[in-house]
Amino acid sequence: MKHESAEECGGLPAEALADVERFLQYMAVEKGASEHTLSAYRRNFRLFVEWMGGRFESWQACTEDVFRAWLYEAMQQQLKPASIRQRFASLRSLYAYLMRKAGLSSNPLAELTLPRARVGLPVHLSLHQMEELLSLPLRTPVDKKSPEWLPYRDAAILELFYSCGIRLSELVSLNADALMHGEDCVRVVGKGRKVRLVPVGEYAKEAIVRYLERAVPDPEGPLFLSRLGRRMTGRSVQLMLDKYLRCSDIPFHISPHKLRHTFATHLLDAGADLRSVQELLGHSSLSTTQIYTHVTKTRMQQVYRQAHPRAEDIDEEP
């Protein structure tokens, strides 16, 4: 980690660079931050350092006016509010750490007003589209050079996404022993290395069993294998999903995260309570899960307007 962070923020003076390295170490060890999160921190620090150029002296010397100027430039470039907020969240976290651990007296970003992020409704598949996608691996022609277990692996991956709503990073990190024998649950290591047990439906269990019978992965190794017998990467899962989307009638692009959205939305549509869905998704805050209530409310309103005889406005005068 030390070499990587030094490479990412090479324009910093030695003392400021050491602060960054200690912060990243703290986030990794004490907060359980994922490598994806740490990479985002490094990238955001690098962007700030590149913008500062030779003007950077120390973290203590950076004022609110400096960050206000960087914010102004980002807004002039018409960056998305979410991207701007992520950049400044990284720096706010660094300054909060320096105040606790390095005796810094104030956080120059504390009072900075950032553009409000636009909240979009999660894109998800309908039940019919999801069922079509789940059926594709076992009825799509297979490359003769591919292992015979490959379509069964793909079917198991898609069933597990839809059955459990797990993140892509959680899926590729699963080991072959993650499906707990005697219990209808899979053991998932989520953000912050928090472990949670997620129920697995019968279709997903059967798909995993069919795959395991053919692929026979090492019980202590990865659950989902690449063609070469190694652990699958997130990119290889996306490429697999893209392959089946090209064979489907689904009219928009789908990522593994949209399958997670589909899982949550279908649960709420069927009457699941928000708190249970929060726990299944592994959200630390209920507010993160509440975005899905907007989806179900929107659909409910559409159904009401279409079905109720007195739902539409009457144009005639009383």
What is the token pair recorded at 89? Answer: 């969240």
Q: What CA–CA distance (Å, rounded) separates 197 from 177? A: 13
Q: How far apart are the first and last CA of the chain?
A: 73
Does residue 257 carry a catalytic annotation? yes
Which candidate in 100, 257, 275, 294 is catalytic? 257
Quick check: is 292 catalytic? yes
Q: For residue 246, indicate whether it is catalytic.
A: no
Asked if 231 is an active-site residue, the reply is no
Would residue 55 show up in a list of annotated catalytic residues for this protein? Answer: no
Active-site residue (options: 68, 210, 214, 283) = 283
Out of 43, 191, 205, 231, the active site residue is: 191
- Dihedral angle, C-alpha 44, 47, 53, 54, nearest 10 °: 20
Contacts of 218 (CB under 8 A, 6+ apart): 176
Lookup: tokens for 239: 């490429």
CA torsion through residues 213, 216, 219, 225, sign: negative
Alpha-carbon dihedral 93, 94, 100, 102, rounded to 10 degrees: 180
Q: Which residues of 118-140 are buried (b: 16+ CB within 10 A; e: fewer)?
A: eeeebebbeeebbebbbebbeee
Q: Which of 92, 153, 260, 261 is catalytic?
A: 260
Instruction: Assess whether 41 carries a catalytic annotation.
Output: no
The owner of tokens 């490094």 is 42
Would you give the DSSP letter of residue 120? Answer: P
Catalytic residue among 167, 244, 261, 266: 167
SS (H, E, C) 130-195: HHHHHHCHHHCCCCCCCCCCHHHHHHHHHHHHHHHCCCHHHHHCCECCCECCCCCEEEEECHHHCE
User: Do 94 and 268 touch, CB atoms closer than 8 A?
Assistant: no
Residue 96 one-letter amino acid: A
Provide the residue type at 126 as one letter. Answer: S
Name the token pair of 268: 């709420």
Please identify every residue annotated as catalytic: 167, 191, 257, 260, 283, 292
